[in-house]
Amino acid sequence: MASAASATRSRAPSGPVKFLRSSIGAKSVMALTGLILTAFVFGHMVGNLQIFLGPEPINRYGHFLQSLGELLWLIRFVLLATLIVHIASAARLIVLNRRARPIAYVLDDSVQVTFAARTMPWTGMILLAFVVYHLAHFTLGTVQPELFSHHDELGRHDIYAMVVLGFQDWFVTAWYVVANALLALHLSHGVSSLFQSLGVTTPSLRWPLVDLAGPAVGTAVLIGNLAIPLASWLGLLELPYGAM
């Protein structure tokens, strides 16, 4: 009996592994990766908004990123790994929650769950599909490949023309509008909840600004990201000479 107990203890996960496999660990990992991804989304948006300054700033920005070479690919790899870990943690948390309550609870009107919170898994899956589409569109050039042939007068890839012309297609613009609306919904709950997952707030100690952080970030990202496709589709961004 002693040997069996000893063998059982030896097979038991160690402290850090046990923590990561727990629901608290999954929430913490999901919060940390979510924080990294949110920072990237915000920085990516700010960089892209340079398109409103004209072709030169956005093309210079794109050329700078391409000049990073292997470092750029390393950054992409880290972001991809972060996204995978985020998704895996979310999936594990769903499994653990279902194991904890195999029979669904009777609806309790005293429990207030927002629409954003209830739809987090669904918005996450749709956003994953959008990330694949977005990479195929503006990074790999497999969507609207003819737009990758444009170069500015300095021989740089003409990102300005690619974006403005790309959003002339109403279907592409509509897809970006829907995806960014779902992204805003996802962020509105995710950003606020990550503070609780990281222990900054507790059910008994909540900061009003923390509760407002998610909706504020979600709204800012929605406005910033939608400004580009809508301005392009509505003709508010002037097409570069000779781009047609």
Q: How far apart are CA 162 and CA 151, in angstroms?
A: 9
User: Is the per-residue pLDDT at 201 higher than 60?
Assistant: yes
User: Is the per-residue pLDDT at 225 higher than 90?
Assistant: yes
Q: What's the chain's average pLDDT?
A: 84
How confident is the model over 31-59, as pLDDT tens digits? 999 999 999 999 999 999 999 999 999 99
User: Is the per-residue pLDDT at 68 higher than 60?
Assistant: yes
Instruction: Give the other-Cβ count within 10 Å of 132's Cβ.
Output: 11
Burial-class residue 161 by CB neighbours within 10 Å (0-12, 13-18, 19+). Answer: buried
**Residue 104 DSSP one-character state:** P
DSSP H helices in the chain = 2-11, 15-21, 23-48, 55-67, 70-100, 115-118, 120-134, 159-166, 170-197, 208-233
Inter-residue contact 117 to 151 (CB < 8 Å): no
Residue whose C-alpha is closest to residue 164's, from 138, 185, 187: 138
> Mean pLDDT over residues 214-229, rounded?
95
Query: Who has greater pLDDT, 6 or 199?
Result: 199
Report the percent of the chain where pLDDT is more than 70: 80
Beta bridge partners of 157: 151
> Mean pLDDT over residues 54-76, rounded?
94
> Mean pLDDT over residues 130-152, rounded?
91
Question: What per-residue confidence (pLDDT) applies to 11?
Answer: 57
How confident is the model over 90-123, as pLDDT tens digits? 888 888 877 776 554 444 443 456 787 888 889 9
User: Is the per-residue pLDDT at 8 higher than 60?
Assistant: no
- pTM comes to 0.82
The domains located in the chain, with CATH, are 19-100+115-233 (1.20.1300.10)
Question: What per-residue confidence (pLDDT) applies to 242?
Answer: 53
User: Is the per-residue pLDDT at 204 higher than 70?
Assistant: no
* Two tokens, residue 201: 């707030």
